[in-house]
């Protein structure tokens, strides 16, 4: 049985939302709220300075999730996760922020993966990849279904970009 025929899109969406809410509540101490969800097959470009973490999943379900953090919020999240002041994070440099964003992304995608596995679609995670920059574009994966979730927390916009291959 394929993922597409066994799971409605709403179930997959709920898994992303629950994973985001759980990780931000437990690891960062912030409430996060979904404000918009769109389906897209083109290029997603955000022009502001940002950190993007991505983790894939492979098995009965295949895909990846990108999490986009505005740079100032990535530094704040790092301070919360690591128990450091913003000044300490700044002095430690972007590598410590990349580590924290990688861990948050890994935990979020892991939460999503666990929900999918519990529904009968076992899969494993790939290693996190983290990039930092301006004007970073993320293209749609060919033959994948793409859902882009816009969340807000602490006045910041966090984007979760799910791309999953749903077999017919």
pLDDT digits (tens, 9 = 90+) for 68-98: 999 999 999 999 999 999 999 999 999 999 9
pLDDT at 43: 61
* Structural domain boundaries, residue 121: 3-165
Total domains in the fold of the chain:
1
- Say whether 19 sits in a helix, a strand or coil: helix
- 35 sits in the region (left: phi over 0; alpha: psi -120 to 50; else beta) called alpha
CB 40 within 8 A of CB 136: no
**CA nearest neighbour of 137 among 38, 53, 47, 63:** 47
Q: Tell me what percent of the residues of the chain surpass a pLDDT of 70.
A: 90
Torsion sign, CA atoms 109, 149, 137, 97 = negative
In three-state secondary structure terms, 101 is helix
Q: Output the domain CATH number for residue 20.
A: 3.40.1550.10
Q: pTM, whole model, 2 decimals?
A: 0.90
Extract the tokens encoding 134.
């301006």
**For the segment 109-130, what is each residue's pLDDT rounded down to a tens digit?**
999 999 999 988 899 999 999 9
């Amino acid at each position: 049985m394929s993922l597409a025929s066994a799971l409605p899109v709403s179930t997959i969406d709920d898994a992303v939302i629950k994973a985001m809410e759980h990780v931000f509540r437990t690891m960062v101490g912030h409430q996060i709220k979904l404000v918009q969800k769109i389906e897209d097959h083109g290029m997603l470009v955000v022009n502001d300075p940002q950190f993007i973490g991505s983790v894939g999943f492979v098995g009965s379900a295949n895909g990846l999730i990108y999490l986009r953090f505005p740079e100032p919020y990535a530094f704040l999240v790092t301070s919360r996760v690591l128990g450091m002041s913003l000044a300490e994070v700044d002095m430690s440099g972007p590598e410590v922020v990349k580590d924290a964003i990688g861990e948050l992304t890994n935990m979020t995608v892991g939460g999503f993966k666990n929900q999918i596995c519990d529904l009968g679609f076992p899969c494993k995670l790939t290693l996190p990849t983290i990039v930092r920059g301006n004007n970073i574009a993320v293209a749609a994966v060919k033959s994948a279904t793409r859902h882009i979730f816009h969340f807000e927390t602490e006045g910041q916009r966090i984007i979760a970009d799910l791309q999953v291959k749903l077999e017919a």
